Amino acid sequence: MKFNCSKSDLIDSISIVQKAIKTNSTVAILDGILIQAEDDKVKLTGYDLETGIEADLKSDVKADGSIVINSRIFGEIVKKLPEEMVTIVTDDRNQVTIESGKSEFNIKGNSAESYPKIPVIETNNKITVSQKILKNMINHTIFAVSKDDTRQSLTGCNLVSDGSNITMVAIDGFRMALRREDVGNEFPEMNFIIPGKTLNESAKIFDGDDDDKEVIIYSSANNLLFDVGDVRIISRLLSGPFVNFNSIIQKNPKSVMNVNRKMLLEAIERASLIIMTDERRCPVQLATTGTGSSSTLLVTANTETGTLREEIDVSIEGESIDIDFNSRYLIDALKNIDDDDVRIEFSGNQGPCIIVPSEGNSYVYLILPIRR
């Protein structure tokens, strides 16, 4: 194998496929990047047996071939090369020569024959959506994915389409994050559970600024492919069923509070400064006085470090509240909302609260309280 490419393009491709590589994998060859040169094209691949990322590299191919090179060593070498033009050559003993300017590295590679095959996904069943929309939906829900491997379906996000709306939901047993986008009529119906790691790394690759850039989603019974052109992300799907999230959203709240999101977020962030220990033992406390538009929300925290007491003007209808929450859960939800004002619904002092828009239904954040 022999090809020429630019250093900057090579660095970009390496950094992309490294997102799918586990350090210190129990399968030694998975610590490497698979490089394939064929038909005037070069493709780099990283794979951890669950998520695979392929990146096309602009190159001048002189001879076809393939090799696996240790990801960490390869990445560090390329970053330190002296010139922009890079030449990579391999021989039949799996020796790799990396040349740039007057610098020449010779390192040992591994045969590509022992590199595991990434699943091939048929391209018949496909969905096209804006990269910006999908990236935002991931970023606004991924923090609520469960870390508990005993409940596999909750270690991913549920991506659902009813034909006109696309919804992404994450639940970890203590909270739920839901984002919904209207994508118009005749959008294909779908229902997938995508691993959190895949979504987290995909969001780093998707373009969040250009409304016109799209990602094509191909699916099979067990796998999913995100195709953004020069980069493809392949992932296994998690088996379900997922939690019936619609059934856990309360329909008849006992209290409804309208509050300025930024003021509430900043008050809870200040409270969290003195919550330095177990959050279950030291929650942030929310309590209201008065009713209607002249109500007051009292935010308090009381720990061995100190205390905080802060009042916020709110509007509340229904019963007064006096309830404890994990401050981090509230902060995570409020930081991922752009609205100036939010509506918070309570089902008594022992039930969950949900945070929704003052108008519309583009998001739902549900948080369970800490019982006293």
2-114 is classed in which CATH architecture? Roll (3.10)
The pLDDT value given to residue 253: 94
The C-alpha atoms of residue 66 and residue 110 are separated, in whole angstroms, by 9
The C-alpha atoms of residue 90 and residue 99 are separated, in whole angstroms, by 12
Element (H, E) at 52: strand 51-57
The pLDDT value given to residue 278: 63
Q: Please say whether the dihedral angle defined by the alpha carbons of residues 311, 313, 314 and 317, taken in this order, is positive or negative.
A: positive
- The domain spans of the chain are 2-114, 126-227+235-245, 249-367
Decide which of 3.10.150.10, 3.40.50.720, 3.40.50.2300, 3.30.428.10 is the CATH code for 126-227+235-245.
Answer: 3.10.150.10
Collect all residues with Cβ–Cβ distance below 8 Å to 327 and sequence separation of at least 6: 268, 271, 272, 275, 279, 283, 284, 301
The C-alpha atoms of residue 13 and residue 16 are separated, in whole angstroms, by 5
What are the DSSP calls for 217-235, one per residue? EEE-SSEEEEE-SSEEEEE
What is this structure's pTM? 0.91
Condensed to tens digits (0 to 9), the pLDDT of residues 245-276 reads 989 888 889 999 999 999 999 999 999 998 87
Collect all residues with Cβ–Cβ distance below 8 Å to 15 and sequence separation of at least 6: 75
The pLDDT value given to residue 240: 83
The C-alpha atoms of residue 83 and residue 244 are separated, in whole angstroms, by 56
CA atoms within 13 A on the CB side of 183: 26
Decide which of 2.40.50.100, 3.10.20.30, 3.20.20.100, 3.10.150.10 is the CATH code for 249-367.
Answer: 3.10.150.10
The pLDDT value given to residue 190: 85
Element (H, E) at 7: helix 7-17
The C-alpha atoms of residue 212 and residue 339 are separated, in whole angstroms, by 24
126-227+235-245 matches 2-114 in CATH topology: yes
Question: What's the token pair of residue 70?
Answer: 């240790």
342 Cα distance to chain centroid:
24
pLDDT in 10s for each residue of the chain, 372 residues: 999 999 999 999 999 999 999 877 788 899 999 999 998 899 999 999 999 999 999 999 999 999 999 999 999 999 999 999 999 999 999 999 999 999 999 999 999 999 999 999 988 778 889 999 999 999 999 999 999 988 999 999 999 988 888 999 999 999 999 999 987 767 778 899 999 999 999 999 999 888 889 999 998 889 999 999 999 999 999 998 999 998 988 888 999 999 999 999 999 999 999 887 665 567 999 999 887 888 999 999 988 888 999 999 999 999 999 999 999 999 999 999 999 999 999 999 999 999 999 999 999 999 999 987
The C-alpha atoms of residue 123 and residue 224 are separated, in whole angstroms, by 10
Condensed to tens digits (0 to 9), the pLDDT of residues 189-206 reads 889 999 999 999 999 999
Helix then strand then coil, in percent of the chain rounded to 5, is 20, 45, 35
The C-alpha atoms of residue 99 and residue 84 are separated, in whole angstroms, by 11
What are the DSSP calls for 302-330, one per residue? E-SS-EEEEEEEEEEEES--EEEE-HHHH
The pLDDT value given to residue 185: 67
The pLDDT value given to residue 22: 84
The C-alpha atoms of residue 68 and residue 33 are separated, in whole angstroms, by 5
What are φ and ψ of residue 243, in 5° steps?
A: -60, 140
Q: What Cα–Cα distance (Å) separates residue 268 from each residue in 265, 282, 283, 308, 332?
A: 5, 13, 10, 10, 11
Identify the CA nearest to 293 among candidates 258, 332, 247.
258
Q: Decide: 51 and 30 in contact? Cβ < 8 Å.
A: no
